[in-house]
Structure 1
Amino acid sequence: MAAVAGGRLAGEVHKAGGIGLVAAGHVPFENLQKEITLSKQVLGLEERDDLPLGVGLMCWRLESPHLPTDLAATEPERWLRYVIHSARARHLWLGFSATGDYKSWIERARAVEAEQVEGEQRKEKLRILLILQREQEVKEALQYEGLDAIVLQGLEAGGHVATEDRGHRLADFISRFSSHLPSVKPPFLLAAGGLSSARSVADVLSQGVAAVVPGTALCVADEALLPPKQKELLIRTGDGMTVKGMQWDRARGSVGWPEGIDGHGIRNITHEELVEAGKEADAKERYARAVKEGDLDRIVTWAGAGVADVKRTAPVREIMQDLLSETERTT
């Protein structure tokens, strides 16, 4: 949900009964501070109030080799201290570690949580969630201490997700952990990927997961950061118009994603264009120009397999009500 889930969207998701998430790590530290301030304004909170939202970190951006070794040793704690003690967020979402060492990330977060800081202490324990794409990762994470939930991300998800050879379709992913469902104690299992209709949400919830994590469906919310033209493109996009690959990331210089991760978005020129060896700078220049011009034929619009079910822009409260309508009729 990078460049989509800001403070306003997260705050309104919470007000509508969900767990709002502020995306972080893909933009400078100061941007996160700005969005956290906005989220507290949306919720009518004071600066030192606990924030009943989550902050999501792209772990690889705070690790080596993306950061120099000296910064990689200190930056995670700086971000964690802000999220836990300054923003006072209730939830911490972690994903896409280049090292895959989520156990260390959890231990770091719990150590920061235990630090003594000046001022009023947090009222609630931090809840830590991992978003994972591979069966073995989940099996290992189920044994981690201090972990509250695991999001099973199916291949249908938009944005960044596992490559076809490493991931699983969501229904199959869930079935592989049917012995843990329904979850009766942490870590609880949640589901993400292609959940843009009431029927898809109801089907997944009927399989015993604790909750669902819609992405593409919320990109068109009035409160989402996505530009209006891209929201309109999502609404126009039908079945079979999304594609996976890393061409967009290479064109915009977003390199460093873990091995086995793909981008999933709406097919356009950038994805189809073959860049000759030695011409990478030209491709980046074309992409940068397209961003300035708002050229949707080149810039990436992330979308999952459920994008054809996205029919309109609306306040996030209405979108969430629509997604849960089938579940409410059957309970």
Structure 2
Amino acid sequence: MALGTNAQTAVEVTRSGGFGFVGAALSTPEILKQDFAFIRTSFPNLEPNKPLPVGYGFVGWLLDKNEEAGKRMIDIVIENGVQAIWLAFGNDIGRWVDYVRSSPANARAHRDRRPLIFVQVTSVEEALVAANEWKVDVIVAQGTEAGGHGGSATPSTFVLLSEILAALPQDGTAPPVIAAGGMANGTQVAAYLTLGAAGAVLGTRFLLTPESPYTDAQKAALLAARTAGPCATVRTLALDYAGDTAYWPVHINGRGIRNKIVDDVEAGVDHATVQARCKVATEVGDQSYMIVWAGQGVALMNEIKPIKDVMAELHADLVKQLQKSQRLLKD
């Protein structure tokens, strides 16, 4: 969610009872400096040696593309004392897991605890490597319903989570697994918790907030997608062709709003033409030809509201559903 999150969204999620991440794939050292100045002022009562209650996410293949720049970005994040680092979408994520642990920035951070390492997986095989070889702190099981990038052949979140939980040791030694993909409300979160997830990740729901850096036109496209139902989104590389970002690992593509970009790519329009049309549409706010990443849960979203209200609604729905489930045991 490099273009859908920022320091403000992460802070507001954490303040409201969740744990906020910033997608830092396209950040720079200058942006990070501004981020951490804002984050520190947002938690004025935080004890000096305590980690900042937010996380930062990085894309593996982008780190690989410029190794020294990638290491510098990770060092800056560690030096500023974040509580967690999230890694995804790389052909050699393990080397970046090792770097987070061995970074000299850990010594400079003057903290007792290194950042927790979250690794996003799209298959059982990836989960087993993350758990058994990399010894990560948290596994994020991302199903096909997820917005943005993910596995092109990944099963549903329900199936993937079930398979991963069944494959991991049952003796309490496995890292916690959290579910990601397609969730829009607390009822869905409750379902994954009862399935065995240690938590849940929501992304698209926070795009429909005043704090999200998504443009008004993109947010309008998300709201309009509700009327299209399950067909509103599609897994494709068309949006990457339009944005000239089709450099992901071979098993990765993206899910976004289906629009004329997808129609043109499927019809064989050359990518340069698609990119030119997309650039113009983005400049004028033409929703029919702009890149809008979104998960399948967008069909259940119908309004823009502040993050604190989204979090309160999610919590209320979650508690209500879990209480309802408990009543089933009494009947």
TM-score in terms of structure 2 length: 0.88
> Aligned residue for 2:57?
56
Q: For 2:258 and 2:268, locate their aligned partners in 1 and report how far apart those are by CA, in whole Å.
A: 22
Q: For 1:275 and 1:26, locate their aligned partners in 2 and report how far apart those are by CA, in whole Å.
A: 28
> Aligned residue for 2:131?
142
Q: For 1:241 and 1:275, locate their aligned partners in 2 and report how far apart those are by CA, in whole Å.
A: 16
Q: What is the count of residue pairs matched by the alignment?
A: 317
Q: For 1:62 and 1:193, locate their aligned partners in 2 and report how far apart those are by CA, in whole Å.
A: 24
> Aligned residue for 1:88?
81
The amino acid across from 1:251 in the alignment is: A
- Consecutive unaligned residues of structure 1, counting only runs of 5 or more, are none
More displaced stretch, 230-239 vs 277-286: 277-286
Deviation at 1:158, TM superposition (A): 0.6
The reply to whether residue 298 of structure 1 matches residue 298 of structure 2 is no
The reply to whether residue 170 of structure 1 matches residue 157 of structure 2 is yes
Give the alignment's Cα RMSD to 1 decimal: 2.4
> Aligned residue for 1:315?
306
Could you tell me whether the CA contact under 8 Å between 1:24 and 1:57 is conserved in 2? Answer: yes
Q: For 2:315 and 2:164, locate their aligned partners in 1 and report how far apart those are by CA, in whole Å.
A: 24
Could you tell me whether the CA contact under 8 Å between 2:138 and 2:178 is conserved in 1? Answer: yes
Compared with structure 1, are the counterparts of its residues 115 and 172 closer, same or farther at alpha carbon in structure 2 (3 Å cutoff)?
closer
> Aligned residue for 2:255?
264
- Consecutive unaligned residues of structure 2, counting only runs of 5 or more, are 324-331
Q: For 1:5 and 1:114, locate their aligned partners in 2 and report how far apart those are by CA, in whole Å.
A: 25
Q: For 1:276 and 1:156, locate their aligned partners in 2 and report how far apart those are by CA, in whole Å.
A: 25
The amino acid across from 1:96 in the alignment is: F
Could you tell me whether the CA contact under 8 Å between 2:28 and 2:73 is conserved in 1? Answer: no
The amino acid across from 2:40 in the alignment is: K
More displaced stretch, 254-263 vs 5-14: 254-263
Secondary structure at 1:128 match in 2: strand
1:224 to 212, 219, 236: 212
Compared with structure 1, are the counterparts of its residues 104 and 183 closer, same or farther at alpha carbon in structure 2 (3 Å cutoff)?
farther
> Aligned residue for 2:327?
none
Could you tell me whether the CA contact under 8 Å between 2:3 and 2:214 is conserved in 1? Answer: yes
Secondary structure at 2:195 match in 1: coil
Q: For 1:114 and 1:11, locate their aligned partners in 2 and report how far apart those are by CA, in whole Å.
A: 23
More displaced stretch, 150-159 vs 250-259: 250-259
Q: How does 1:194-233 map to 2 (within 5 A)?
A: 194-233=182-221
Secondary structure at 1:306 match in 2: helix
Q: How does 1:34-73 map to 2 (within 5 A)?
A: 34-44=34-44, 50-63=51-64, 67=65, 71-72=66-67
Could you tell me whether the CA contact under 8 Å between 1:181 and 1:208 is conserved in 2? Answer: no
Q: For 1:321 and 1:278, locate their aligned partners in 2 and report how far apart those are by CA, in whole Å.
A: 45
The reply to whether residue 17 of structure 1 matches residue 5 of structure 2 is no
> Aligned residue for 1:327?
318
TM-score in terms of structure 1 length: 0.88
Secondary structure at 2:287 match in 1: coil
Secondary structure at 2:265 match in 1: coil
The reply to whether residue 133 of structure 1 matches residue 122 of structure 2 is yes
> Aligned residue for 1:76?
70
